[in-house]
């Protein structure tokens, strides 16, 4: 691997930032301490900063050797927030706050971009501007969408924007990148079936919402198997059913909740429409009323072909083409999708290993995302930072033509 020597020699600093962030996790839109650390370090390195987008967001404006005069710019994004999860690890840098944990590696993402920013600020081997986006509230808060709506790309009009997430399971020293959909949309639904309560021994005197709910749960699965094209992907999962308070009472109502995932908005439109129709008509067939609500949270994460190919080239130059694999699309969701709706770009995975890196005192669970035994692999820090540096330098290299066809 072709790790930048200066970054490798300073890896201890990046590890210290990462472990400090891990020990002090902050939930979405509450990343005040994290943002303060980011601002302090960027300011020390002579990088002007803007605060306030999405509340706790930080944007660093790093000009190259021409002072940004050429007008070109590229955006690099890292997420900062933690999860509302009780950590099981007991090593020294474990969370010091009950019920909060960096179980998705955003501490590592922030540290990698900080390490890259320090090197870029000290060398400035590029023309134009690198926009360093430290984003809050990726975990269910939609912070990327908030930043975009509050004018992120109006104030900092980048040509393209790039993001990266650690991915457990694959060996350290490898990346994954593909064009097209790589993560799904995330959507919630709620269906309230309003029946008519009665004594359980006299069901004919009421309208029982429970068998209606059972019919509906099965009917919803036919949307994927019979309405969605077999070559398209969709998931409908009913994850909550609430009804009743006593064994001898037929309840008035039953409520279903769950999630829907798709790789395209067209399929999502179809799924939402058919869910509403099935819910309303099934309830009507049994004489019950239906209250159907559908909340679209994150759109699909769709990589632009040209930007994904560029990312692959940069990765291959560092680790070799054999260590750059195609992404397997996942039904997990990512709010970087909002940035990709606004600008061309791509979102990649950097492999986090199998968990053997975890120190004595780690929890008994696997080292997978959103697990209380997870920990980011610090071996990734110099590799991830090198990647961000090379991507910025090659995108903004003086010989690289302006990609006007990508706007």
Question: Tokens representing 264?
Answer: 């395209």
pLDDT for 399 equals 45
Q: Quick one: DSSP state of residue 225? A: I
Torsion of Cα atoms, 105 then 108 then 113 then 119, to 10°: -160
Provide the strand spans (E) within 31-92: 49-51, 58-63, 73-79
- Topology (CATH level 3) of domain 186-298: Alpha-Beta Plaits (3.30.70)
Across residues 10-32, what is the average pLDDT?
98
pLDDT tens column, 85-129: 999 999 999 999 999 999 999 999 999 999 999 999 999 999 999
DSSP string, 229-261: -TTS-EEEEEEEEEE-SSTTEE-SEEEEEEEEE
Portion of the chain with pLDDT greater than 90, in percent: 97
pLDDT tens column, 171-195: 999 999 999 999 999 999 999 999 9
Distance CA 23, CA 29 (A): 18
Domain with CATH 3.30.70.360 in the chain: 186-298
pLDDT for 398 equals 54
Question: Tokens representing 274?
Answer: 């058919």
pLDDT for 169 equals 94
pLDDT for 402 equals 47
Question: Tokens representing 108?
Answer: 């590592």
Distance CA 121, CA 47 (A): 7
Portion of the chain with pLDDT greater than 70, in percent: 98
Domain with CATH 3.40.630.10 in the chain: 5-183+300-406
Name the band, by pLDDT with cuts 50, 70 and 90, for residue 153.
Answer: very high
Across residues 297-303, what is the average pLDDT?
97
Q: In what order do the strands lie in the sheet with 73-79?
A: 49-51, 58-63, 129-135, 73-79, 161-167, 345-351, 175-176, 324-325
In 3D space, the residue among 141, 82, 137 whose CA is nearest the CA of residue 107 turns out to be 82
What dotted CATH number matches 5-183+300-406? 3.40.630.10
Q: With H, G, I as helix, E, B as strand and everything else as coil, classify residue 67.
A: coil
pLDDT for 138 equals 98
pLDDT tens column, 366-394: 999 999 999 999 999 999 999 999 999 99
pLDDT tens column, 305-320: 999 999 999 999 999 9
Q: Is 255 exposed, middle or buried (0-12, 13-18, 19+ CB in 10 A)?
A: middle
Whether the CB-CB separation of 264 and 258 falls below 8 Å is answered with no
Name the band, by pLDDT with cuts 50, 70 and 90, for residue 134.
Answer: very high
**Average of per-residue pLDDT values in the chain:** 96
Please, what's the b/e burial string for 88-104 (b: 16 or more CB within 10 A of its CB; e: otherwise)?
bbebebbbeeeebbbbb
Q: Is 401 exposed, middle or buried (0-12, 13-18, 19+ CB in 10 A)?
A: exposed
């Amino acid at each position: 691997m072709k790790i930048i020597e200066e970054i490798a020699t300073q890896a201890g600093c990046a590890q210290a930032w990462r472990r400090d962030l891990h020990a002090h996790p902050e939930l979405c839109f509450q990343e005040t301490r994290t943002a303060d650390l980011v601002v302090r370090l960027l300011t020390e390195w002579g990088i002007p900063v803007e605060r306030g987008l999405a509340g706790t967001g930080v944007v660093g404006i790093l000009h190259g050797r021409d002072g940004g005069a050429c007008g070109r710019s590229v955006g690099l994004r890292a997420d900062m927030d933690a999860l509302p999860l009780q950590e099981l690890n007991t090593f020294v840098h474990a969370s010091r706050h009950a019920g909060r944990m960096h179980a998705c590696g955003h501490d590592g993402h922030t540290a990698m971009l900080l390490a890259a920013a320090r090197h870029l600020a000290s060398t400035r081997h590029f023309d134009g501007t690198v926009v360093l986006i430290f984003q809050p509230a990726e975990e269910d808060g939609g912070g990327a969408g908030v930043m975009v709506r509050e004018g992120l790309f109006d104030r900092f009009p980048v040509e393209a924007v790039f993001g990266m997430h650690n991915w457990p399971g694959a060996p350290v020293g490898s990346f994954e990148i593909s064009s097209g959909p790589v993560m799904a949309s995330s959507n919630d639904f709620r269906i309230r079936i309003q029946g008519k309560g009665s004594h359980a021994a006299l069901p004919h005197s009421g309208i029982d919402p429970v068998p209606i709910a059972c019919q509906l749960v099965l009917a919803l699965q036919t949307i994927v198997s019979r309405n969605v094209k077999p070559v398209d992907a969709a998931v409908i999962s009913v994850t909550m059913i609430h009804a009743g308070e006593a064994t001898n009472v037929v309840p008035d109502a039953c409520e279903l909740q769950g999630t829907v995932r798709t790789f395209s908005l067209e399929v999502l439109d179809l799924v939402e429409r058919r869910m509403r129709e099935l819910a309303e008509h099934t309830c009507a067939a049994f004489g019950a009323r239906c209250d159907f609500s559908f909340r679209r949270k994150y759109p699909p994460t769709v990589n632009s072909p040209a930007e994904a190919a560029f990312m692959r080239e940069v990765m291959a130059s560092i680790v070799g083409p054999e260590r750059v694999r195609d992404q397997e699309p996942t039904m997990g969701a990512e709010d970087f999708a909002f940035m990709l709706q606004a600008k061309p770009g791509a979102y990649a995975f950097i492999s986090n290993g199998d968990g053997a890196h975890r120190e004595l005192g780690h929890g008994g669970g696997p080292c997978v995302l959103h697990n209380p035994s997870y920990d980011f692999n610090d071996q990734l820090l110099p590799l991830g930072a090198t990647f961000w540096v090379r991507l910025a330098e090659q995108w903004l290299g003086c010989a690289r033509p302006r990609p006007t066809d990508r706007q």
